[in-house]
Amino acid sequence: MTKYIVEPKSRSDMRAYANLLRRKLGLADILYFPIVELLDSLAEIFPEFSYEIVPDHVLGKDIHADTDIRTGHVRIKESVYERACSGEGRDRMTIAHEIGHYFTLCHCGFRLTRNFGKTEVPCFKDPEWQAKCFAGELMIPYQLTKDMNPARIARVCGVSFDAALYQSKKYKK
Ligand SMILES: [Zn+2]
């Protein structure tokens, strides 16, 4: 059960937010997004953002990174950070996902409420879906990749084949 509900956003909203961040950074036309370097840039641009590389045992076994939305503090597992630095697509996407949480909830201030009910939360109101959607749009910019196949997208954007495939399926809708 999703613990939180966030104000509804569509994929095209999230695409617009990802493009906004890319433009703000002067990276609108860059295929291979420098996500690791972005951590330091964000810390310079946004005083409320901070991040930390933590030893693997600090976070749970299945947690690769997390974001404290009250403080804007992102923690990334050391092994994830190192693989992201060497270009591993999945780990690059993990960092983008956490930046998605930070950017939507802390920077843009999407309103978040606790889910007390037993009802299923539709995906567009789920903070996890929003972060995933933002990360995909940030790492795989629609305008630059809409005519590419997944294998090419994975190569030029530095993302996993699965992520490239998922994203390109959205183009056909
Ligand atoms: Zn998440």
Distance (angstroms) between ligand 1 centre and the Cα of 133 equals 11
Q: Tell me the average pLDDT across 133-151.
A: 97
Distance (angstroms) between ligand 1 centre and the Cα of 30 equals 25
Q: Tell me the average pLDDT across 115-120.
A: 76
The reported pLDDT for the residue numbered 173 is 60
Distance (angstroms) between ligand 1 centre and the Cα of 101 equals 7
The residues spanned by each domain of the chain are: 4-143
Distance (angstroms) between ligand 1 centre and the Cα of 97 equals 6
Distance (angstroms) between ligand 1 centre and the Cα of 52 equals 16
The region of weakest confidence among 9-13, 20-24, 42-46, 113-117 is 113-117
pTM confidence score: 0.94
- Whether 1 contacts 109, CB under 8 Å: no
Question: How far is residue 31's CA from residue 65's CA, in Å, rounded to a whole number?
Answer: 24
Share the mean pLDDT of the chain.
93
Question: How far is residue 56's CA from residue 78's CA, in Å, rounded to a whole number?
Answer: 6
pLDDT at 117 over 90: no
DSSP secondary structure letters along 73-114:
EEEEEHHHHHHHHTT-HHHHHHHHHHHHHIIIIIIS---EEE
- Whether 140 contacts 157, CB under 8 Å: yes
Q: Between 140 and 3, where is the model more confident?
A: 140
Distance (angstroms) between ligand 1 centre and the Cα of 2 equals 11
Distance (angstroms) between ligand 1 centre and the Cα of 38 equals 18
Distance (angstroms) between ligand 1 centre and the Cα of 90 equals 14
- Residue 90 tokens, joined: 């999945």
Distance (angstroms) between ligand 1 centre and the Cα of 147 equals 29
pLDDT at 115 over 90: no
Domain covering 4-143, topology? Arc Repressor Mutant, subunit A (1.10.10)
Distance (angstroms) between ligand 1 centre and the Cα of 132 equals 7
Question: How far is residue 18's CA from residue 172's CA, in Å, rounded to a whole number?
Answer: 20
Distance (angstroms) between ligand 1 centre and the Cα of 163 equals 15
Q: Tell me the average pLDDT across 134-154.
A: 97
Question: How far is residue 6's CA from residue 4's CA, in Å, rounded to a whole number?
Answer: 7
